[in-house]
Structure 1
Amino acid sequence: MNMNCIAIDDEPLALQLLKSYIEKIDFLQLENLFTDGLQGKEYLENHPVDLLFLDIQMPDITGIQLFSSLKEKPLVIFTTAFSNYAAEGFNLDAVDYLVKPFHFERFEKAVNKAKELQEFRLNKTKENDFLFVKYDYQWNKIYFNDIVLIEALDDYIKIYQKDTHPILIHMSMKAIMEKLPESLFLRVHRSYIVSIDKIKSWNKNSIQISDQEITISNTYQKQVQEVLESRLK
């Protein structure tokens, strides 16, 4: 799968370095380079791309302002000399954040991540065996088979996985449930989603999963019973 891309940076030398890196990646097709942020913005409004390499500190318009203004947002990798913008960049769902100067190996890691995300977007209507979630300031792949249960914690969710530590993600239960296959996961409580395959035992009021006993709330009792009893047939 090829990805067409452009780069916007007010420093010509930085653009030339990006160009040389891009040309080393087989699946990247460089469409254009811009030292003027406003010209780059105008180009993007008329020529959608898959991936955008974008500097943050530029005259006339910052990279953050430019990307926020786009109606059709491509995957973006921010490239900047200022690490203090990292949190703001990732709040815009950036694929990665490269702090100058960066070596080719670091660049390659970022674009490979972009490729995985693009493939996921293109195949999202198919039955995948994984999803991408954002934590530790980057997008990470989690396989459905590794998820044991998911717990709601205010504006966050905690994903418990087998053979590793739980991860905390800023996401609602509704949002994560929409990303999970109904055939594999079941909501049993306003605060819990469980992996059906990981259930050890169950009754009308609770489910035993891993070393935890999860209460089945009244709201979900009928649905849980129907789903689990269908597995007995």
Structure 2
Amino acid sequence: MAWQCSGATNHEMVTKLKEAGILATDRAEAAMIAIDRAHYYHEANPYLDQPRKIGYNVTISAPHMHAYALSVLSDQLFDGAKALDVGSGSGYLSACMAFMVGPRGRVIGIDHIPELIEISTKNVSEDCPHFIKEERVKFVVGDGRLGYAAEAPYNAIHVGAAADTLPQQNKARLIFQLIDQLTPGGRLVCPVVAIKGFQRFQDLVQVDKNVDGTVTKKKLMQVSYIPLTDPATQLANDY
């Protein structure tokens, strides 16, 4: 049923996502009802179930992918939780996460394009100004591949672009550190590039840090995201 949940209104889109079994928790449903996608995608037909370009060679993900992510992370996006949204783009998913963590929680949206940080901040300020006033949401410019250590650890981390390898501390290059920034009991969801023979594809991977600090990984489905990369490469390519 993925890609078949377009609606004429936000409520119709959410209803179709729930009926398809993609929007799988009541709390995720409530967030997507409360945060209207049209406030984060300002062109025609904002409720189409497909990714839409928002400039700077990035997209706002298809609604069904947002529904999957919020459903998978629902237990970690509890009242008072802290979350990190890597590649926050339009600010839509960060706002949904902020709704779920409540006024005692905190969401950090990080993107390496300053103009996107301005856009996301403006979108949330106009849609849910109390999120900004309460500091429930904070958008920062930075390399999301490194996470955002200043606010770590996080109960939930969402990555909105495909990593060549699963983000974790690489001792040779010290590039990926996201798993290290998960709190015990935390969960990360990230698209990861996979290669089999001559085929190159992406898996949406769920990573859980157990209470004892051990890590378990689970492949959820195959997906298609833009690459998780540096600003110069992103701006030089039209994905």
More strand by share: 1
Instruction: Give the TM-score band, short-chain normalised.
Output: under 0.3
TM-score in terms of structure 2 length: 0.25
| Rg larger in structure | 1
TM-score in terms of structure 1 length: 0.26
- The higher-RCO structure (CA 8 Å, 6+ apart) is 2
